[in-house]
A and B are shown apart, each in its own frame.
Chain A
C-alpha cells in the first residue's frame, strides 16, 4: 500500500490498467466507453489547470474543444501530407493562442469576467464555425466527416487503435501535467488562486502566471477536442460543442475535485460511465417493453440528484473521497479557507 501511495507508482498502475483494458475484445468498450472517457479526462485536465489551480472559471470549454477539432481538420486539409501528431500539436497551439485572446482582458480583472468572456467565446466560436465555410474546407454546411488518419503508414482505423492512440496522447499529457503541478509554475498557480495579493507580495508575476495557465489550459482542451473529433465521434460539427458540453466538462472537474490531476480522470469516469450504466441498467430491468425516453429522463433526473448529493457530501470531489479512504498519501497544505489539496 505504501508503494501505491507515491504518485509515479499510482500513475504507472493506472497506465498498466489502461493497457490491460486493451486486451479485452470489445469494440463497444473502446468506442463508446474508454475513448470518450480519455478525451473528456483530457479536457477536464485542461479546465482544471485553469480553474482548479489558477482559480479562473471557464464556461466555454466545449468551444475551445471545437477550435481544436476544426484546427486539426484545417491543418490536415490545407497542408497535405502533414503528420497527424504535428496536426494535433498545432491544433493545441492554435487553441492556446485563441484562449489567450479571450482570457487576456479577463485575467487582468478579478473573477467573473472570465466566466462571461468564455461564455461569449462559446457562442461566438459556434457561430464562426457554422457561418464560414472556409473552416470546413469549403463545405457550406459546416459538417465534416473526419477523414481516415494514419501515423507513419499505420492506419488508425480500428476501435482498438483509436483507443491506444488516445491513451498514448493522454498519458503523455497527464504526465506533463503532473510535472507542471509540482513545478514552481504549478506552485505559483496555487498561490495566485488562494490569495492573489499575497502571491504578488511574494514575488510571483501574477499576470504572466495566469497567462501560462490560460495557454496551457487552452492547449490541453484543444487537443482534447481533436481527440474527441478524430478518435471518438469522427464527425466535426459546431453543434456538437455546445453549452451543455461545456457544463459537462465543468461538472467533471467539480465532481472529480478541483486542483487534482487524478480528479479529472475520476470525474470523467463518473460522467461518462454513469449515464451508460444507468441506461444499460434501465434497459436490462425493463427489457424491451419500456419507453426509451422515460429511461433517459430518469437518467437526467438521477444525474442531477447525484450532482447535488455530491456537492453536499463531498464538495472537494471524488479525489478527496479517495484520499479519505486512505488509498493515497495526503499532502495537506492548510490554507485560510481550511481546504486541503492533493498534488496530483
Chain B
C-alpha cells in the first residue's frame, strides 16, 4: 500500500470538499432563515463571477470590481425577496423550490445576455502549483481556498452570534411567527439573508472561476452541493463544512480505488449514493436541527 499516495489522495479529497462546502454554505444560509431550498444559488455563483470578471477585464481594479459586484448581488437579493419570495410565502416547499428553479433560468439568461457567452480566465494571483511536502503534493491554491472558507465560516459565526442582525436571523429561523410578533421585520431580514448569500456566491464564484474558468458550467456546482447538504444537515453551517469534507473525501477515494473496477467516472453519482446512505441512517444530517420537511 502506497501510503504517501494514499495521503495525497486523502488531502486532495478533503480540499476538493472545501470547495463544495463553500457553495453549500450559501444554501444553508437561505434555508436556515427562510426554509427555501434555493436552487438558483448556482446561477447566482455564475452571475457574480461573470459580473466580476467582465468588470475586471474592462479595467476596473480588483477591489472596485468586487465592491460593484457585491452591490449588484445585494440588489439582486432584494429583488428576489420582493418579487419572488414574498408573494409565495405560504406555498408548500415544492412550489418555492420550483420558483427558485425558474429564478435560476432567469439569472442564467440575464447573465449571458449582459456579459456574453464567452469563456473568461480569472486570475486571482495565486498559482495552482504544488507545495511539495514530503512527496505529497498540496496545491497552494487549494490551501488558499481552505483559508478563505475558514474565514467565511468564522465571519458568519461571528455574525450569527454577536450581531443584532445575526440574532434576528436566528430568531426568524427558529419561529417566524414569533419573530414577527416581537416586531422583527421579516422582509428586511430575508433580503439581508439573500444579500449575504449573494456575497457567498461571489466568493464561491471567484474561487471556482479561478479554477475552471468563468463560463456557463459554473452554475453546475450546485449539483454537488445537494449531497453535501444531506450529509451535513440543511440548516447547519458546520454541517456544510463537515459534509463537504466528507463528500469530497469519499468521492475521491471511491473514484480512485473503486472506479477503475467499474469503468471509472463514478464520482458524479457516488456522492448521491453516500447521501442516500446518510438519509437512511441519519435523516437530519450530521448537524441538522430542523426536521427535514416533505418536499
Contacts and interface: CB of A to CB of B under 8 A. Distances in A.
User: When A and B assemble into the complex, do they touch directly, with CB atoms less than 8 Å apart?
Assistant: yes
Interface string A274-300: 000000000000000000011001101
Contacts of A6: none
Interface string A309-343: 00110010000000000000000000000000000
A14 interface: no
Interface stretch (A80-88, A113-121, A204-212): A113-121
A180 interface: no
Given A116-B230, A123-B272, A307 B99 contact: yes
Contacts of A33: none
Contacts of A254: 94-95, 98
Contacts of A298: 109, 113
Contact of B294 (A110, A117, A303, A308): A110
A239 interface: no
Interface in B76-114: 83-84, 87-88, 91, 94-95, 98-99, 101-106, 108-110, 112-113
Contacts, number: 111
A247 interface: yes
A77 interface: no
A132 B83 CA distance: 47
B292 interface: yes
A297 B109 contact: yes
A116 B294 contact: no
Q: Which of A109, A250, A300 has the most CB of B within 10 A?
A: A300
B105 A311 contact: no
A130 B275 CA distance: 23
A112 B294 contact: yes
B279 A113 contact: yes
Contact of A304 (B102, B223, B272, B283): B102
B276 A116 contact: yes
Given A127-B269, A311-B88, A119 B109 contact: no
B2 interface: no
Contacts of A117: 276
B117 A293 contact: yes
A117 B84 CA distance: 28
B163 interface: no
A57 B108 CA distance: 25
Interface stretch (B120-128, B139-147, B244-252, B260-268): B260-268
B70 interface: no
Contacts of B110: 301
Interface residues of A, number: 39
A305 interface: yes
B265 A305 contact: no
B293 interface: yes
A77 B106 CA distance: 43
A300 B273 contact: no
B98 A251 contact: yes
A105 B280 contact: yes
Interface string A159-201: 0000000000000000000000000000000000000000000
Contacts of B294: 55, 110-112
B83 to A, nearest CB: 8
A297 B110 CA distance: 8
A145 interface: no
B272 A119 contact: yes
Contacts of B293: 111-112
A158 B103 CA distance: 39
Q: Which of A112, A243, A306, A315 has the most CB of B within 10 A?
A: A112
B295 interface: yes
30 contacts: A55-B294, A105-B276, A109-B279, A109-B280, A109-B283, A110-B294, A111-B293, A112-B292, A112-B294, A116-B226, A123-B268, A123-B272, A124-B273, A127-B268, A131-B264, A132-B263, A293-B117, A297-B109, A300-B105, A300-B106, A301-B105, A304-B102, A304-B103, A304-B104, A307-B101, A307-B102, A308-B84, A311-B91, A311-B99, A315-B95
A-B pairs with the 4 shortest C-beta distances?
A111-B294, A304-B105, A307-B102, A120-B272
Given A123-B269, A307-B101, 7 more contacts: A112-B292, A127-B268, A293-B117, A297-B109, A301-B105, A303-B102, A311-B95
